[in-house]
């Protein structure tokens, strides 16, 4: 049992002004394994004050020095990689090796990729008789989710620090322990006191205090669309800049000339990644109607290769969901899909055999899903794949775009040119062509109700900059 009784403000571990704590639950055993401070608005006030103090000095620090600090953070994460991976496997439920590669590995890569800061910052330029420059937006409030906890902290914190901003971080209270380990590494690295601050707590208390605080110049939020709307509403009162990475219901279009086995297996893997708890999960598979029987057979075989279980067991390929709330939500959607007439190929709402304890859900595949069903339109955030048939390319694109979301998509074809042509017509911020691996240097973000702004690489750094014109 870990008892975290301090938050990190102004370069020091200090007691919260509140007296309550929040339990952290092991998603496999359902046992409380830690507690963290339930921060309050007064903690946010202290953290914002601390962040404002070094802002001018940090923004004036040479880019090479800021980059060197980010490199030291990346090295610190790497030194403690196995410990952090184990913590995330416990609090989130992702299998240990996957946690190491994805959750921690991507965070290390993010900090390391931001280290050459001078190459990421846009240069001053002359326009007419003016000089156009870029400067840090100021104090950044970073509010991060539980599904990719450390990776999402990294893409916000590393980019903001690279830009010359200071940060007040509120990690998800559901999977917060990794953020405390990051704060320990930041403390060891020796950043200017106040450049990085950590306040743990709930969204309605700490998150809302950050979003509405007049001393916060920008809020970068990742989470549900509902919560993102609330953040934007609160931020609007002080007209602060907002970046939002929200929900998704991503389509995966398999064209008639695609390598069917590869496309379907990759699609199942995308839908089941992190037990389906990914905003970019390709949870809608759109396939030619004539190929539906073959697709169903491949999808069921692929789904059966996922064995839910203990995240620390070598044979486990899918862990539990993060919480009881999430488990019940996903099971209710599976039941709703059955009630609405979708064809259940495998899985179901019952717990996996022998896993009655823990927040486990059966890997589930539906077919003959129509676009008016809830499982085709609403973000489930669990290992549930909806297979939908189409009769023409035009219908496939129309189905893909018939969504309030616009985060990610996939297209499969033997012709890369054909796949790119279709990808250009899909209204999302990100399209994966023929299973291409995720690119951490390319911009990632969405449109419609999937959010505002972009993360990763220089595009992520630019989100934390303001444009200034000096008329000469």
Two structure tokens written together for 256: 């008639």
Q: What span, in angstroms and rounded, lies between the C-alpha atoms of 171 and 179?
A: 7
Q: Of the candidates 388, 370, 386, 371, which has an alpha carbon nearest to the alpha carbon of residue 291? A: 388
**CA 459 to each of CA 114, 139, 162, 240, 456: distance values in angstroms, whole numbers, following the listed order:** 11, 19, 12, 19, 6
Burial class (CB in 10 A: 0-12, 13-18, 19+), 225: buried
Q: What phi, psi does 92 have (nearest 5°)?
A: -100, -40
Two structure tokens written together for 308: 């839910």
| Helix ranges (DSSP H) in 39-116 | 41-52, 55-60, 63-79, 81-91, 96-98, 105-114
Two structure tokens written together for 392: 């023409």
Q: What span, in angstroms and rounded, lies between the C-alpha atoms of 324 and 205?
A: 22
CA dihedral of residues 159, 161, 164, 165 (deg, nearest 10)? 100
Question: What 3-state class would DSSP assign to 53?
Answer: coil
- Under a CB-based contact definition with an 8 Å cutoff, are residues 28 and 358 in contact? yes
Residues linked to residue 14 through DSSP beta bridges, in sequence order:
7
**CA 52 to each of CA 209, 254, 273, 365, 429: distance values in angstroms, whole numbers, following the listed order:** 16, 50, 39, 50, 33
- Under a CB-based contact definition with an 8 Å cutoff, are residues 99 and 196 in contact? no
Kindly list the catalytic residues. 245, 279
Two structure tokens written together for 32: 């409380």
Planar angle of CA 34, 24, 450, nearest 5 degrees:
145
Cα dihedral 1, 200, 276, 361 sign: positive
| Helix ranges (DSSP H) in 164-200 | 177-189
DSSP string, 251-303: EEEE-TTS-HHHHHHHHHHHHHGGGG--TT---EEEEEGGGHHHHHHHHHHHH
- Under a CB-based contact definition with an 8 Å cutoff, are residues 250 and 408 in contact? yes
């Amino acid at each position: 049992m870990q008892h975290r009784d301090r938050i990190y403000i102004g370069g020091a571990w200090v007691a919260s002004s509140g007296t309550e704590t929040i339990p952290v639950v092991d998603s496999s055993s359902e046992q409380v394994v830690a507690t963290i401070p339930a921060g309050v608005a007064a903690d946010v006030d202290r953290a914002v004050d601390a962040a404002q103090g070094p802002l001018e000095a940090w923004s004036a620090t040479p880019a090479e020095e800021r980059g060197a600090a980010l490199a030291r953070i990346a090295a610190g994460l790497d030194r403690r990689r196995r410990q952090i991976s184990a913590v995330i496997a416990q609090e989130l439920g992702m299998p240990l090796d996957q946690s190491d590669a994805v959750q921690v590995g991507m965070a290390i890569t993010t900090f390391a990729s931001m280290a050459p800061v001078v190459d990421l910052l846009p240069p001053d330029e002359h326009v007419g008789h003016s000089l156009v420059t870029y400067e840090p937006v100021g104090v950044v409030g970073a509010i991060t989710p539980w599904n990719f906890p450390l990776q999402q902290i990294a893409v916000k914190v590393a980019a903001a620090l690279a830009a010359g901003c200071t940060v007040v971080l509120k990690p998800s209270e559901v999977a917060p322990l990794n953020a405390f380990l990051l704060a320990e590494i930041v403390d060891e690295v020796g950043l200017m006191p106040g450049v990085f601050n950590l306040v743990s707590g709930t969204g309605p208390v700490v998150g809302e205090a950050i979003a509405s605080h007049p001393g916060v110049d920008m809020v970068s939020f990742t989470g549900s669309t509902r919560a993102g709307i609330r953040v934007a509403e609160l931020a609007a009162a002080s007209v602060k800049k907002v970046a939002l990475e929200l929900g998704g219901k991503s389509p995966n279009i398999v064209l008639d000339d695609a390598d069917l086995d590869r496309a379907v297996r990759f699609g199942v893997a995308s839908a089941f990644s992190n037990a389906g708890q990914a905003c970019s999960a390709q949870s809608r598979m759109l396939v030619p109607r004539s190929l539906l029987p073959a697709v169903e057979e491949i999808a069921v075989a692929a789904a059966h290769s996922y064995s839910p279980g203990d995240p620390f067991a070598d044979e486990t390929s899918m862990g539990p969901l993060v919480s009881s709330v999430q488990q019940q939500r996903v099971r209710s959607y599976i039941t709703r899909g059955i009630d609405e007439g979708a064809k259940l190929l495998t899985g179901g709402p019952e717990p996996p055999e022998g896993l009655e304890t823990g927040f486990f859900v059966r890997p589930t595949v539906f077919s003959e899903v129509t676009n008016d069903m809830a499982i085709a339109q609403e973000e489930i955030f669990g290992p549930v794949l909806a297979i939908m048939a189409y009769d023409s390319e035009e219908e496939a694109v129309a189905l893909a775009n018939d969504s309030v979301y616009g985060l990610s998509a996939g297209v499969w074809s033997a012709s890369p040119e054909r796949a790119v042509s279709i990808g250009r017509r899909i209204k999302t911020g990100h399209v994966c062509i023929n299973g291409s691996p995720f690119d951490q240097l390319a911009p990632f973000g969405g449109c419609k109700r999937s959010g505002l702004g972009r993360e990763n690489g220089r595009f992520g750094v630019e989100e934390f900059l303001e444009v200034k014109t000096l008329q000469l």
